[in-house]
Structure 1
Amino acid sequence: MAHDAHGNTTTLADQTLEFDMANRHLSTSIGHGDDTSTLIAYTRDVTNRIEARTVTTPGETPDTTRYAHTAAADVSGLVLDAGDQVSEYTVGTAEGVGDS
């Protein structure tokens, strides 16, 4: 296990994690760091919430899952598939617990 100067874990077993200067997790490479590695990359909106997660596996088409937020919270209210269709949604109950 290895860490950067900010204390972020940068290596964990066969995973290499990348962070930006604001300590936001940008991506994880799983494998040997070469053309056989799987890359998981995150895209954030202007408020730092994850809006997309792309998994790129060698020899396959990248798979992107998009997230939409329905409130100011960090919790995703909607998960969109590749065709921008809602594949999951979260509805708060009277007690404030989210149901999918």
Structure 2
Amino acid sequence: MNDPLHPTSNGEAHQAADVQIPEATRRKHYLSGEFFITPQALEAHDIDEVLRWFNLPHEPVTVGDVRDIGHGLKAYFGYDDSKPMRKALFVRIY
């Protein structure tokens, strides 16, 4: 799998080819912020099953962390300071 693309100096937070997970889907899992998933991960996995990990108990995460979220996937927890605070925190699943 591809390594996560970390924010760059110009504020680019994720690859343009990533798919943004719709707000309705995030809301269904009580998630906020922006979530992105690679097309390959989206094709290979049920998005609801993938997002369930975020409601399980686990140690806290900080910006820059990469976590194994099961199903052979990882999540990168990032921050894009070029966006307003409510959209600055994001998760990239790959």
TM-score with structure 2 setting the length: 0.26
Q: Which structure has the higher relative contact order (CA within 8 Å, separation 6+)?
A: 2
Going by fraction, where is helix more abundant, 1 or 2? 2
TM-score with structure 1 setting the length: 0.25
Going by fraction, where is strand more abundant, 1 or 2? 1
